[in-house]
Chain A
Amino acid sequence: MQNTNTSLLSVKNLSTHFSTDEGTVRAVEDVSFDIAPGQTIGVVGESGCGKSTIGRSILGILDRNGSIVNGEVKWKFGADSGTEVDIAKLKQNGSEMQQIRGGEIALVFQEPMSSFSPVHTLGNQMREMIQLHQKVGKKEATEIAIGLLKQVGIPRPEQRIEGYVWQLSGGLRQRAMIAMAISNRPKLLIADEPTTSLDVTTQAQILDLLRGLQEQYGMAIMLITHNLGVVAEMADEVVVLYLGRNVETGSVDDIFHQPKHPYTQALLKSIPSVSGAAEGGRLPAIAGTIPHPFNRPPGCPFHNRCLEFMEGVCDVKQPQFLPIGDNQKVSCFLHHGGEE
């Protein structure tokens, strides 16, 4: 894995918990990964794996009942990335955090409709974002906004900017969301399921757009998704999560061609193939369901669905997340033994 010195963002042993009436939900437990400048990292997992919570922890926009209880989120702060700050320790509404949020790290949400305001014009919302981080007047901010909309491929931006977001189609809304996110030239763009609510042809357009913008600005992208096809296409590195824990991390090629963890292997096998295999056969499904966060199994969280479950080992201890090979890390007793 990357040396911490070269990485833009370094998440170490991050744990984020939510307190609810029913008890504490350990949404993220002991998760670590790094993002280098200009890199695309795919964060994948099924529902409840904590992938969205990680994005929100980094930006300090957790719900009121959630908090980072452990770990650090090291971020290279400032225009020259000179100082290193620990986001986990910053005040969520302090001035540094406000500069980072939306300025240095921006977020693209899954559902553009519910993340824009329906009662403010697109222009108002974009100007707010621009003027919060740049010292420009209203007129100048409008010009910047129009330029951004043009850049993300929205036709007739001069008119759209006076309209409302709900007047746009799903694909255009997502483009507007991306335009807003890149308005302050962030060093890292966190895209949380950016194409999940879109049709495949629109999804292809948006992925193309993201790639183009990344080439142009050299920003890093943290792509949070459950779609393994999207990850295979976009990511350089992949972080696989299950029930809030690191399962496996590695280069996209290693994850898809030499997955080491039984969960990664099973997940890859369970997707029906669009390119091969004739219709009719049974899919090798993963048995059982994802446990409820209150009913976390002891030991390895995947052990009760795992084909290679070892009694007395996997259900007793939590496997450590350790390197395997040059560029891959896995948390599984098959690779690291149960004794240590």
Chain B
Amino acid sequence: MVLKENTIQLNNPDNLLEVRNLKKFFPIQTGFLKRVIGHVRAVDNISFSAKRGETIALVGESGCGKTTTARSILRAIAPTSGQVLFGSKELGVVDVAKLNGRRLRTLRREMQMVFQDPFTSLNPRMTLLNLVSEPMLVNGVGTHSERVDRVAELLRLVGLRPEYMRRFPHAFSGGERQRIGIARALALNPSMVVLDEPVSSLDVSVQAQVLNLLMDLQDEFKLTYIFVAHDLSVVRHISKRTIVMYVGKIAEDAETEELFNSPKHPYTAALLSSVPIPDPRRKTQRVVLGGDVANPADPPSGCYFQPRCSFSEEICRTTAPRLDELSSGHSASCHRSREVELKGI
């Protein structure tokens, strides 16, 4: 078994994570017998990779599958098919989608998650000490006093005072709670952290602090971030690469700066032009999209974005586009991305 898994190779030695043809379908069941009448194609055949120490942002509107992708990477849910290759420190290159039992638990130390809502993701009955040391306790790391020392160190690291470790989360504000969540995620020295909308519930002034903290920690520990977000200004600030998703598929994947400056998918362009810019003098020509996001259980024919797209042609209605590499490191799944001129921001 060990031999078999060692045969898996990453395409690029710099990569920490490679997602290949990942799919996650949720069955739609009906009636007493739970007959399956269809599937919600939450994540539909997506591939991307993340280099070590890099931040990859997954963006898109609600229901686009960004959170499902993040959870599949962590094996918080089991993907329907596809591979999630991860360069583990202890196990070598492994396919997270196929691991289970003890090996999966070993791997879990290396990938951690920070949740969106710091008010519901921290158990109100646990002190900071218990909350932050729980991952170590579960994995049998250290003695009690070692764990206490580590918690103190972690709290200092995220900008909280170690004296607070006997307090309960209700005594802290949203931003401080998010720091607790980050400390907890870092407790086991992970190499990758999945951040699911980590700042979207925070106030603007506090959001900036947490973003700064995340960037400092990344520098210090060479962390790889998978950053799930819908706020494009935050994404532009923090991520190296950005992946735009639409109804379970990748619409566009490019270096962040390039994606914002010269988007190649009409959906990306529409998304960018929808962001209200905090400058009254800058009046953008907005592409207001009509209609709603397509239903992933009953997607339209051809390109999923076609009913809302102002550039759609006959081919868009009949054939689904493939994710096509237009220039080095910039891919888009649009039939017309080579011809249409799109405006960035």
Contacts and interface: CB of A to CB of B under 8 A. Distances in A.
Interface residues of B, number: 48
A283 interface: yes
A275 B206 contact: no
Contact of A208 (B62, B232, B256, B288): B288
Contact of A200 (B61, B174, B175, B204): B61
A272 B345 contact: no
Interface string A285-312: 1110110100000000000010000000
Contact of B256 (A231, A271, A279): A279
Interface string A178-209: 00000000000000000000011111110110
Contact of A274 (B173, B204, B233): B233
A187 to B, nearest CB: 25
B276 A283 contact: no
Nearest to B57: A279
Kindly name the residue among B205, B281, B345 whose own CB sees the greatest number of chain A CB atoms within 10 A: B205
B54 to A, nearest CB: 11
Interface in A228-253: 228-233, 235, 252-253
Given A46-B206, A200-B274, A203-B274, 11 more contacts: A202-B292, A203-B276, A204-B276, A226-B204, A270-B205, A272-B236, A273-B236, A277-B237, A284-B208, A285-B206, A289-B206
A274 B240 contact: no
Contact of B276 (A202, A207, A272, A278): A207
B211 A199 contact: no
Interface of B: 61-62, 173-176, 203-209, 211-212, 215, 230, 232-234, 236-240, 256-257, 260, 270-282, 286, 288-290, 292-293, 345
17 contacts: A46-B203, A169-B292, A170-B62, A199-B62, A205-B290, A226-B204, A229-B276, A232-B276, A232-B277, A257-B280, A272-B211, A272-B238, A274-B260, A274-B277, A275-B282, A289-B176, A290-B203
Q: Sort A-B residue pairs by CB-CB distance and give the 9 closest, nearest first.
A: A229-B276, A272-B237, A285-B208, A274-B233, A199-B61, A286-B205, A46-B203, A270-B208, A283-B208
Contacts, number: 144
Contacts of A235: 280
Interface of A: 46-47, 169-172, 199-205, 207-208, 226-233, 235, 252-253, 256-257, 266-268, 270-275, 277-287, 289-290, 292, 305
A283 B277 contact: no
A270 B61 contact: no
A201 B204 contact: no
A229 B292 CA distance: 22
B286 A204 contact: yes
Contacts of B286: 204, 208
Kindly name the residue among B62, B204, B288 whose own CB sees the greatest number of chain A CB atoms within 10 A: B204
Contact of B277 (A229, A257, A270): A229
B188 to A, nearest CB: 27
Nearest to A254: B280
B164 to A, nearest CB: 13
A232 B50 CA distance: 36
B289 A205 contact: yes
A13 to B, nearest CB: 26
B280 A233 contact: yes
